[in-house]
């Protein structure tokens, strides 16, 4: 007897591998079906078109792995290090997301946007909690802060050719660890709570007429 849930799990695993490697344009449904030991009709029945399959695979990936990518108990600098290590060990999420962005931009469908927004709302809430606890400068906008953090963490992973230009060679694991330490220190300095005097000085510098 066919187990639909088992079939869906195999299709999901095969689709993650296929989309991470080839993107939506290069991915082949017949290859996904062969790897999943399923037929193409079951893929269309459970997941829809190939484009819908990519969106739903990313949605499901966040559901299954998203907790490992959230700043729950870790302070933000340590979270940056852990997130970098996670993406180095599991590059498929970044690869699928980049392929999706190249193919569709921000137009990934309202259903997927709403589904994923829940995960990012949790990240923003975690930052807000740390601001309330005095661990992060409360004057920082959590949205901008996380955008900067993600950019710092993911740059070397998603643009290895640019990284090679900067470092003169591909990063070794030792280089990557030193870079993570550098990012952690940068995040620590960015989020350091300011004293009242520091905030007044910063405000004055930002608003002092030239």
**Helix (H/G/I), strand (E/B), else coil: 9:** helix
**Helix (H/G/I), strand (E/B), else coil: 50:** helix
How high is the pLDDT of residue 104?
A: 87
- Alpha-helical segments (H) within the chain: 4-26, 29-36, 40-47, 50-65, 76-89, 92-104, 110-132, 142-158, 160-167, 173-191, 196-207
Q: Are 130 and 75 in contact (CB under 8 A)?
A: yes
How high is the pLDDT of residue 203?
A: 41
How high is the pLDDT of residue 5?
A: 87
Q: How many Cβ atoms sit within 10 Å of the Cβ of residue 203?
A: 12
**Helix (H/G/I), strand (E/B), else coil: 59:** helix
How high is the pLDDT of residue 109?
A: 83
User: Residues of the chain whose pLDDT is less than 50?
Assistant: 200, 202-204, 210
pTM of the full predicted structure? 0.81
Tokens, residue 3: 């187990």
How high is the pLDDT of residue 1?
A: 57
State the fold for domain 58-193.
Tetracycline Repressor; domain 2 (1.10.357)
Residues 80, 130: Cα–Cα separation, whole Å: 14
Residue pLDDT, tens place only, 194-209? 865 555 454 445 555 5
Residues 33, 65: Cα–Cα separation, whole Å: 23
How high is the pLDDT of residue 72?
A: 62
Contacts of 60 (CB under 8 A, 6+ apart): 12
At residue 100, φ and ψ (nearest 5 deg) are -60, -45
Nearest to 97 by CA among 89, 105, 85: 105
């Amino acid at each position: 007897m066919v187990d639909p849930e088992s079939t869906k799990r195999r299709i999901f695993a095969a689709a993650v591998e296929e989309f991470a490697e080839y993107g939506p344009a290069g991915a082949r449904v017949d290859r996904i079906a062969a790897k999943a030991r399923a037929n193409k009709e079951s893929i269309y029945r459970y997941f829809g078109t190939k484009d819908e399959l990519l969106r739903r695979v990313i949605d499901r990936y966040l559901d299954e792995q998203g907790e490992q990518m959230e700043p729950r108990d870790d302070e933000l600098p340590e979270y940056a290090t852990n997130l970098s290590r996670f993406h180095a060990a599991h590059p498929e999420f970044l690869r699928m997301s980049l392929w999706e962005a190249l193919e569709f931009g921000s137009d990934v469908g309202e259903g997927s946007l709403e589904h994923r927004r829940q995960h990012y709302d949790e990240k923003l809430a975690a930052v807000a909690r740390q601001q309330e606890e005095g661990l992060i400068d409360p004057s920082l906008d959590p949205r901008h802060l996380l955008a900067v953090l993600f950019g710092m963490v993911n740059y070397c992973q998603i643009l290895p050719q640019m990284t090679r230009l900067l470092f003169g060679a591909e990063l070794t694991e030792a280089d990557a660890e030193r870079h993570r330490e550098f990012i952690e220190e940068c995040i620590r300095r960015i989020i350091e709570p300011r004293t009242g005097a520091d905030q007044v000085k910063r405000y004055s510098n930002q608003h002092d007429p030239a």
